């Protein structure tokens, strides 16, 4: 058996981020090409065979959307992860609609990126990522629709992102610091109870009147969404 090394193309114009990603992924055992311009990125993606693309949105030459569109038009079905800014909620939807497979909100941890990369490479092309579920709770990312037991739940934009984070990391206790940086552009030492308030509101919408309760506080640690074992 010959182990094949996976090839990844990063298109990112911020040199620090690009270099950091390239180094990290190379050390993780991937063959990595880095491109700082959208047009060059598209040419490389069309001429070489990559297993995965990591695309920044704002790029010189061609932006991430245009690159992805051109790629899909050319029939290239490579999995794509977008790197998007926190305040561009609508962008994530746009990216998924255009055929991206996943996205990460900047700033993200390298461990997080690596986990997503490995998941995508394992699964290959994934469309099911756009629908997340836990028990009878269902979140459709593309339609921005959340239901529980078939009942529609209306969420604010922040609540949507928060619930999505909890669902994607189901079973994992998420520290408040991580939630603060992923959902709000905040440091964990910010003197604010905004996270507690948001989680309480989200829980009222998602869990009240339903069973089982999915969102739990883990005292001193953070929050977790999981489906409790039946007794
Ligand atoms: Ca950029």
56-78 pLDDT, tens digit each: 998 999 999 899 999 988 988 88
- Whether the predicted pLDDT of 142 surpasses 80: no
CA of 37 to the centre of ligand 1 (A): 9
Between the CA of 56 and the centroid of ligand 1 the distance, in Å, is 6
Whether 190 shows a pLDDT value over 60: the answer reads no
Domain boundaries, the chain: 7-125, 131-225
Segment 206-221 shows an average pLDDT of 94
Q: Using an 8 Å Cβ cutoff, are 190 and 180 in contact?
A: yes
CB 141 within 8 A of CB 96: yes
For ligand 1, the distance from its centroid to the CA atom of residue 161, given in whole angstroms, is 22
On whether the CB atoms of residues 137 and 189 are closer than 8 A, the answer is no
Q: How far is the CA of 84 from the centre of ligand 1 (A)?
A: 9
User: If you average pLDDT over residues 184-206, what whole number do you get?
Assistant: 82
Other beta carbons less than 10 A from residue 165's beta carbon: 17
What pLDDT sits at residue 16?
Answer: 93
Assigned CATH topology for domain 7-125: Rossmann fold (3.40.50)
The separation between the first and the last C-alpha atoms of the chain, rounded to the nearest angstrom, is 45
CA 91 – ligand 1 centroid, Å: 14
Q: Please state which of the four CATH numbers 3.30.70.260, 1.10.10.10, 3.30.420.10, 3.50.50.60 is assigned to the domain occupying 131-225.
A: 1.10.10.10
pLDDT exceeds 80 at position 88: no
Identical fold, 7-125 and 131-225: no
Give the burial class of 158: count Cβ atoms within 10 A of its Cβ; 0-12 exposed, 13-18 middle, 19 or more buried.
middle
Average pLDDT over residues 117-134: 73
Tell me the CA–centroid distance for residue 90 and ligand 1, in Å.
Answer: 17
What is the structure's pLDDT at 55? 95
Is the pLDDT at 41 greater than 90? The verdict is yes
- What is the percentage of the chain residues whose pLDDT exceeds 90? 53
Closest to 159 (Cα-Cα) out of 102, 203, 99, 190: 203
Contacts (Cβ under 8 Å, ≥6 apart) of 204: none
Return d(Cα 214, Cα 97) in angstroms, integer.
Answer: 28
Q: What is the pTM of this model?
A: 0.55
The model's confidence at residue 127, banded by pLDDT at 50, 70 and 90, is very low
| Residue of 27 and 84 predicted with greater confidence | 27
Q: Is the pLDDT of residue 152 over 60?
A: yes
Evaluate whether 91 touches 84 at the Cβ level (below 8 Å).
Answer: yes
């Amino acid at each position: 058996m010959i182990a094949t090394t996976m090839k990844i193309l990063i298109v990112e114009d911020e040199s620090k981020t690009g270099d950091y990603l390239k180094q990290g992924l190379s050390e993780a055992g991937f063959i990595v090409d880095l491109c700082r311009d959208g047009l060059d990125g598209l040419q490389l993606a069309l001429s070489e065979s990559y297993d995965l693309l990591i695309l920044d949105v704002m790029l010189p030459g061609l932006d991430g959307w245009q690159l992805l569109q051109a790629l899909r038009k050319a029939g290239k079905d490579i999995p794509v992860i977008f790197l998007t800014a926190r305040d561009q909620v609508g962008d994530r939807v746009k990216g998924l609609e255009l055929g991206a497979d996943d996205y990460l909100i900047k700033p993200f941890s390298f461990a997080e990126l690596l986990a997503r990369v490995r998941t995508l490479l394992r699964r290959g092309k994934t469309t099911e990522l756009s629908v997340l579920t836990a028990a009878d709770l269902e979140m459709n990312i593309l339609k921005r629709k959340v239901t529980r037991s078939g009942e529609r739940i209306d969420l604010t934009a922040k609540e949507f992102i928060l619930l999505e984070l909890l669902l994607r990391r189901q079973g994992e206790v998420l520290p408040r610091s991580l939630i603060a940086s992923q959902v709000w552009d905040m440091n964990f030492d910010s003197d604010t109870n905004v996270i507690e308030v948001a989680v309480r509101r989200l829980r009222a919408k998602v869990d009240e009147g339903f069973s089982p309760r999915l969102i739990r506080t883990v005292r001193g640690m953070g929050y977790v969404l999981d489906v409790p074992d039946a007794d």
